[in-house]
Amino acid sequence: MAKLIENQLDNVFFALSHPTRRQMLDRLIDSDLSVTDISRGYNSSGPTISKHLRVMESAGLIQRTKRGRVHWVQLKPEPLKGVGDWMTQYKKFWDISLSSLDSYLNKISRKKEK
Amino acid sequence: MAKLIENQLDNVFFALSHPTRRQMLDRLIDSDLSVTDISRGYNSSGPTISKHLRVMESAGLIQRTKRGRVHWVQLKPEPLKGVGDWMTQYKKFWDISLSSLDSYLNKISRKKEK
DNA sequence: TATTAACTTAGCCATTTGGCTAAGTATTAT
DNA sequence: ATAATACTTAGCCAAATGGCTAAGTTAATA
């Protein structure tokens, strides 16, 4: 079971190791996109795009839903939490007070004070 | 230049995509280790361990220093900051108040209040 | 109904990965 | 001086990756 989670983490990190895939995920933050939308800007072939999507789907980072002839792609960010959890062990090494995380943390703690 | 950073991020994510390598890094948090120390517990061959180390070295995650015949391996966590930065875009999706990050954040803000 | 559009699947190819063994290269110990 | 230790490099292998084209499949349009 923890084995499955480990393996999931492998897949997630691997999915993130390709710049095209990271960029695709970035684009999906704002809204769901069709496969055609996603492929816009790359001059890769359809099947190549499709393979990238499959890699991310295996990692659980996206979900595809077919509506008519259009396949809609939705970001599923949950697996990224696993990455975040793994990262926490290392946070003490970052100069966290300078990191971009900092402003976020401030926001959080302000919210808590309410 | 930003291109180089992108590429570095590819290497970092890739390095993290193998459980053995993640575990090696975890072990390096507490102290520097010799290659022999690191290989303890795996039944992989020397060259296999060596290759894993090379992958992490390429990603900038470790540094090897030879002292006598012993090669000491040191964690270089800086590249992980790149991962953290990339992740911040997605933090809004995690239920951050429940995450293990939370306790860390509290510690930080307490420190700030002093 | 025939064509076009939006995809995926099948299958090819070169390269990389992750494992191995065998053979180096230093350095330390006997 | 020899042997053992701590590695790495060279080179092999099977499997996976990332790219392609060609050929599906399914749904919308003309």
Task: Report the residue from A13, A88, A93 with minimal CB separation from B16.
Answer: A13
CATH number at residue B96: 1.10.10.10
pLDDT at A61 over 80: yes
Task: Report the residue from B19, B75, B101 with minimal CB separation from A88.
Answer: B101
Give dist(CA A31, CA A29) in Å, integer.
Answer: 6
pLDDT tier at A94, thresholds 50, 70, 90: low
User: How many domains does the structure of chain A reveal?
Assistant: 1
The maximal CA–CA distance of chain B, rounded, in angstroms, is: 51
Tracing tokens 């999931």 back to the chain, one arrives at: A8
- Paired tokens of B58: 């390429």
Give all strands of the β-sheet with A70-75 in edge-to-edge order: A33-34, A70-75, A62-67
pLDDT tens-digit profile of A3-27?
A: 667 789 999 999 999 999 999 999 9
The residue among A32, A5, A110, A101 whose CA lies nearest residue B92 is: A101
Question: Within an 8 Å CB–CB cutoff, is residue B32 touching chain A?
Answer: no
pLDDT score, position B93:
78
Nearest nt to B51, CA vs C1'? Answer: C18
Q: Which domain holds residue B44?
A: 2-113
